[in-house]
Structure 1
Amino acid sequence: MCHYPKEYIAQCPFSQLLLTWRLGPGKRRIHIGTLELAPEGDISFSYNCEGLEQAKEYGFSHYTGLPLEEPIDGARALELFLRRVINTKRNDAARLLSFWGITEEMFSNKLYLLGATSGRMHSDEFEFLPVLRQMDKPYNFITDIAGIKYYDLEHSEVKDGSPLKYELERQSSYDKYAVKVMDEQGHTLGYIKQGINRIFYQVDPNLSVIKRSSSYSTSKVYIQITVPAKGSHEVLLPQSK
């Protein structure tokens, strides 16, 4: 366990970051560990034993610098994880981070940057997926849709700014918080990523496309999740929207 400034934790719209890993692009992400944030400023990291066993079947061993056979030093874990955050002194930092809705006033809060960008790097297949929470004011969170290559993107006319629908799949055998994403015509596009999807079982967010991109080998749809403020729509009754 280690300590982080309480004022920085209060700025984070998430209570946990789920450390996930996958064998490669297009493969299912496996939850292998959890970074816990306490309002008082305490932060701890622990491996998820069930996820580790699944990941080991695909050759995973441990996060670099955090071997399984040694006690986890919370300060060491956080220091390693925050290395994934972009250097905000780069000349292009403001431009790159603006895509994720991050303003320069948040640059000093590296933990916030880790969650807002999911800590993704081109050099590995780790991703930190936030368990979102309601804040005093509504906010937007940006992510991409998971599993998109398996569904109907080629038949969909979604474009930047298109509103989206979603449906809760409470009986999913893969994730008890599964949330399916669809365009307005009902074409399934994919799913909300694990961790991020839990907020949909607590409140009623709005979804829209902010960027659709395609290349020779991959297609992505980045979406904006608008989470209402505390006290708004706290009980979610319908199964779909």
Structure 2
Amino acid sequence: MSRPFVLWLIWQNERTRQRYHVGNLVHHEGKYMFYYEKHAKRRGVIEALKNGYHLHLAFPDVNKVYVSERLFGPFERRLPDRRRPDFQEILRAHGLSDDYTNMDLLRATGGRLATDTYEFVPPIYVYGDEFDFEFHIAGWRYYEGERVLDRLQVGDDVTLQLEPTNEKDPKAVVVLTKQGEKLGYVPAFYSEFMFRLIDESGGTYKANIQFIHPNANPQLKVNVYVYGTLTPTMKKLQRDMVHDMELVVTV
């Protein structure tokens, strides 16, 4: 069975700066699908709607699974224009070859626009007892990352540590270097998974730096890759957290 290409659609509340996992974009066996993440118990579309979010105009039905033979127009327009003179430089900057797909480019760039606060991020993939995901460190500009950036190297291990005293988010997970410097946080739409893995289930994981882009925007400078093993308890918790996400992410 081939692994579906899945991206989570994230929306950020401009006032509170909180981010929510509002939808899922899937490319599998030649078809594109989009549907809202209405089953998430935390930071999904239902919570987002209560905090200022409005459904995307192109996808007005929160209960529908939208299907297309090609990438949906509103998402395709979020990609860099191939006619740009610097398009090849964009591909190289994101480590993409000329045989990239639209989903590759959407994943690499996040599909960010200056006109809204949407972005696409990779999901948590679960396959059997194992999982993996990647993320850009949240809150980079506020902690020690910039000071130690020239010492960081691709492949360096990092530690993910719970921060239950965090007043804004008791399930926050901090990213630390091996020396204990605070680089920032695991983004909130991943943090409950890691919080439960570390705090409740005894699951194991490894986390290391996958990419470093010193000249990128602060929120895109360092990318971390996490992989590990789920215990039976965590597998049950994961099913409870994501509900129907297994249909498109578990392989």
TM-score with structure 2 length normalisation? 0.63
Q: Deviations over 1:100-158 (max 9, x none)?
A: 2112221xx11221122221122210011112659xxxxxx98631123453346x422
- For 1:32, give the aligned amino acid: V
The corresponding residue for 1:193 is 187
- Other structure's SS at 1:102 match: coil
The match for 1:147 among 139, 154, 160 is: 139
What one-letter code is carried by the residue in structure 1 that aligns with 2:206? D
Indicate the structure with greater helix content: 2
Match of 2:85 among 70, 87, 91: 91
Change (3 A) 1:179 1:112: farther
- Aligned counterpart for 2:115 among listed residues 123, 136, 154: 123
- Alpha-carbon distance change, 125 to 158 in structure 1, aligned in 2, over 3 angstroms: same
SS at match of 1:204: strand
Residue 94 of structure 1 aligns to which amino acid in structure 2? Q
Structure 2 unaligned residues grouped into runs of 5+: 127-132, 198-202, 232-251
Query: 53-62 or 189-198: which moved more?
Result: 189-198
In 2, are the aligned partners of 1:212 and 1:220 still within 8 Å (CA)?
no
1:73 partnered with 2:66: yes
Identity %: 25
Whether contact under 8 Å (1:145, 1:220) holds in the other structure is yes
SS at match of 2:33: strand
Show the counterpart of 1:180.
174
Q: Distance in 1 between matches of 2:170 and 2:59?
A: 27
In structure 2, the CA distance between the partners of 1:175 and 1:77, relative to structure 1 (3 Å rule), is farther
**Selected match of 1:47 from 24, 33, 36:** 36
Distance 1:158 1:165 in 2: 13
1:59 matched to which residue of 2? 52
Following TM superposition, by how much is the alpha carbon of 1:35 offset from its aligned partner in structure 2, in angstroms? 1.9
Q: Secondary structure at the match of 1:98?
A: helix
Match among 166, 177, 185 for residue 159 of structure 2: 166
Cα pair 2:140 2:183 within 8 Å, conserved: yes
Unaligned runs of 5+ in 1: 1-5, 135-140, 228-232
Letter in 1 for 2:35: S
For these two proteins, the number of residue pairs brought into alignment is 209
In 1, the alpha carbon distance for the partners of 2:55 and 2:224 equals 31
Separation (CA, whole Å) in 2 of partners of 1:88 and 1:142: 27
1:38-93 residue CA offsets vs partner (Å, 9 max, x unmatched): 4x344322112352232233322111321137845322873322221112232101
Would the aligned equivalents of 1:160 and 1:211 in 2 still touch at CA under 8 Å? Answer: no
Match of 2:247 in 1: none
Instruction: Please give the secondary structure, in 1, of the residue aligned with 2:158.
Output: strand
The one of 100, 106, 118 aligned to 1:114: 106
Post-superposition shift, 1:19?
0.8
Counterpart of 2:36 in structure 1: which amino acid? Y
Alignment of 1:222-241 (within 5 A): 222-225=221-224, 235=229
Cα RMSD for the two superposed structures: 4.2
- Alpha-carbon contact 1:161-1:208 (below 8 Å) kept: no
Query: Which amino acid is 2:87 matched to?
Result: A
Matched, 1:22 2:21: no
